[in-house]
Amino acid sequence: MPASTRRPSTARTAVFFHAHPDDEALLTAGTMAMLAAEGHRVVLVVATSGERGQADIAPGEALGETRIAELYKSAAALGCARVVNLGYGDSGLAPGGGVAEDRPADAFIDADGEEAARRLAAILTEEGADLLTIYDPAGGYGHPDHVQVNRVGGRAAQLAGTPIVLEATVNRDPLLRGLRLVRRFYPQLDVRAFERAYSPAEEITHRVNVRRFARQKRASMAAHATQATGADTRTLGVMLKIPQPLYRLVFGTEWYVQRGLPSGTRLRHPFEVPPKA
**pLDDT value of residue 4:** 34
Please state, in angstroms and rounded to a whole number, the distance separating the CA atoms of residues 36 and 255. 18
Looking at residue 231, what is its pLDDT? 54
Which amino acid makes up residue 241?
K
User: CA-CA distance, 5 to 7, in Å (whole number)?
Assistant: 6
> pTM for the complete prediction?
0.89
Task: Judge whether 251 and 214 are in contact, CB under 8 Å.
Answer: yes
Ramachandran class of 79: left when φ > 0, alpha when ψ lies in -120 to 50, beta otherwise: left
What residues contact 33, with CB distance under 8 A and at least 6 apart?
A: 77, 78, 79, 210, 213, 216, 217, 220
The pLDDT, as a whole number, for residue 235 is 75
d(CA 224, CA 77): 12
**DSSP code, position 93:** B
pLDDT digits (tens, 9 = 90+) for 216-231: 999 999 999 988 865 5
**pLDDT of 131:** 98
DSSP state of 169: E
Amino acid making up residue 189? L
Q: What integer pLDDT is reported at residue 37 of this predicted model?
A: 97
Q: What is the mean pLDDT of each run of 10 residues along the chain (277 residues)?
A: 46 97 96 98 97 78 93 98 97 80 92 98 98 94 93 98 97 82 80 82 95 97 85 72 88 95 94 84
Report pLDDT for 9. 59
The 3-state secondary structure of 236-257 reads HHHHHCCCHHHHHHHCCEEEEE
Q: Are 243 and 185 contacting, i.e. CB atoms less than 8 angstroms apart? A: no
In the prediction, which pLDDT does 7 show? Answer: 47
